């Protein structure tokens, strides 16, 4: 390890500790486990939330991305009512974060990875959100049927976009698949206040499989793109969103991975032929 690498490592560790101290009541226990690479206890937030997790989950990474860096709350209005659709809900960090901010917000959370789905359901129940959060065990993509998902890996990176096992321990698991049209149909035609997508390479297929009516029901979209897993996923997603009348902001996290935030121009509805995009 070079001197620069050592300082960078220490800097990142200090930032992680700072986030824990800011957000968690049990930060000492979490930090003690994290610094020696042991599974931490459930994260207990000062807001009252509890985030349970399993052996294949990354709760400290979720603390950083969802709560510390607000990946899914930049460049959009945090919905206070209506419906949030969370595709690739993982163990529920985004669902818990947004649902806890307003009792008028209802959530449909989709997570096909069986182990992550079990923890997601546990988190919804443990935080008293079962009356407002509906959990689905399906993948969402293009079409319907079944999808092969590589599981028994880090749940934040479980994907269907590998022809061979990504790790020696990976297990091919068939999971039910629906498209975005069905997801929106299930909420009875109500407008979607926010659609969040983090499906590890499936984001472009999901949007491209949506009808104009489905896209017209969306008010805001936040998605994580993975150009390494799915070449030009970001470009394909931007094309669909811009043609549907959204204004988009792109926030790269590295050369092949980042976030797209899409909102409709104020006072406008779907079908607008305005294509305005920018970079954060």
User: For the domain that residue 155 is a member of, what is the CATH number?
Assistant: 3.40.50.150
The distance of Cα 227 from the centroid of its chain, to the nearest Å, equals: 16
**Contact predicate 88/222, CB 8 Å:** no
CA distances (Å), origin 182, targets 48, 186, 220, 227, 263: 34, 6, 18, 26, 22
Residue 79, pLDDT score:
94
pLDDT per residue as tens, the chain (280 positions): 788 888 888 899 999 999 999 999 999 999 999 999 999 999 999 999 999 999 989 999 999 999 999 999 999 999 999 999 999 999 999 999 999 999 999 999 999 999 999 999 999 999 999 999 999 999 999 999 999 888 776 655 555 555 566 677 777 889 999 999 999 999 998 889 999 999 988 999 999 999 999 999 999 999 999 999 999 999 999 999 999 999 999 999 999 999 999 999 976 544 333 334 555 6
Q: Is 258 helix (H, G, I), strand (E, B) or coil?
A: strand
- Kindly state whether residue 101 falls inside one of the protein's structural domains: yes
- Kindly state whether residue 64 falls inside one of the protein's structural domains: no
CA-closest candidate to residue 88, choices 202, 167, 253, 174: 202
> Distance between CA 40 and CA 53 in Å, rounded?
9
Structural domains counted in the chain: 1
- Kindly state whether residue 173 falls inside one of the protein's structural domains: yes
> Distance between CA 53 and CA 115 in Å, rounded?
10
Residue given tokens 């969402």 in the structure block: 140
> Distance between CA 31 and CA 119 in Å, rounded?
21
- Kindly state whether residue 26 falls inside one of the protein's structural domains: no
- What domain range includes position 260? 72-279
- Kindly state whether residue 63 falls inside one of the protein's structural domains: no
Across the chain, the runs of DSSP E, i.e. the strands, are 43-44, 50-51, 81-87, 104-110, 133-136, 139-141, 145-151, 171-179, 192-197, 220-226, 247-254, 257-263, 277-279
Determine whether 252 is exposed, middle or buried from the number of CB atoms within 10 Å of its CB (0-12, 13-18, 19+).
middle
- Kindly state whether residue 50 falls inside one of the protein's structural domains: no
- Kindly state whether residue 188 falls inside one of the protein's structural domains: yes
> Distance between CA 79 and CA 56 in Å, rounded?
30
> Distance between CA 260 and CA 189 in Å, rounded?
25
**Contact predicate 200/159, CB 8 Å:** yes
> Distance between CA 119 and CA 30 in Å, rounded?
18
Residue 276, pLDDT score:
41
CA-closest candidate to residue 253, choices 64, 84, 77: 64
- Kindly state whether residue 221 falls inside one of the protein's structural domains: yes
């Amino acid at each position: 390890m070079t001197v620069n690498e050592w300082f960078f490592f220490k800097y990142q560790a200090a930032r992680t500790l700072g986030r824990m101290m800011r957000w968690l009541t049990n930060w000492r226990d979490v930090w003690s486990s994290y610094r020696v690479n042991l599974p931490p206890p459930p994260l207990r937030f000062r807001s009252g939330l509890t985030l349970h997790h399993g052996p294949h989950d990354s709760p400290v990474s979720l603390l950083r991305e969802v709560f510390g860096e607000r990946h899914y709350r930049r460049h959009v209005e945090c919905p206070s009512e209506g419906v949030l659709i969370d595709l690739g809900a993982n163990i529920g960090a985004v669902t818990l974060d947004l649902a806890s901010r307003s009792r008028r917000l209802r959530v449909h959370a989709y997570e096909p990875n069986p182990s992550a789905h079990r923890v997601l359901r546990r988190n919804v129940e443990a935080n008293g959100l079962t009356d407002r959060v509906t959990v689905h065990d399906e993948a969402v993509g293009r079409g319907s049927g079944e999808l092969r998902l590589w599981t028994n890996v880090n749940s934040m990176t479980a994907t269907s976009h590998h022809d061979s096992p990504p790790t020696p321990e990976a297990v091919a698991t068939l999971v039910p698949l629906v498209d975005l049209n069905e997801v929106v149909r299930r909420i009875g035609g109500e407008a979607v206040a926010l659609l969040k997508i983090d499906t590890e390479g499936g984001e472009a297929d999901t949007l491209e499989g949506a009808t104009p009516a489905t896209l017209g029901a969306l008010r805001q979209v936040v998605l994580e793109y993975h150009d390494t897993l799915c070449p030009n996923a970001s470009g394909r997603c931007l094309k669909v969103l811009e043609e549907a009348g959204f204004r988009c902001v792109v926030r790269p996290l590295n050369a092949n991975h980042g976030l797209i935030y899409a909102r409709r121009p104020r006072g406008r509805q779907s079908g607008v032929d305005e294509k305005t995009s920018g970079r954060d």
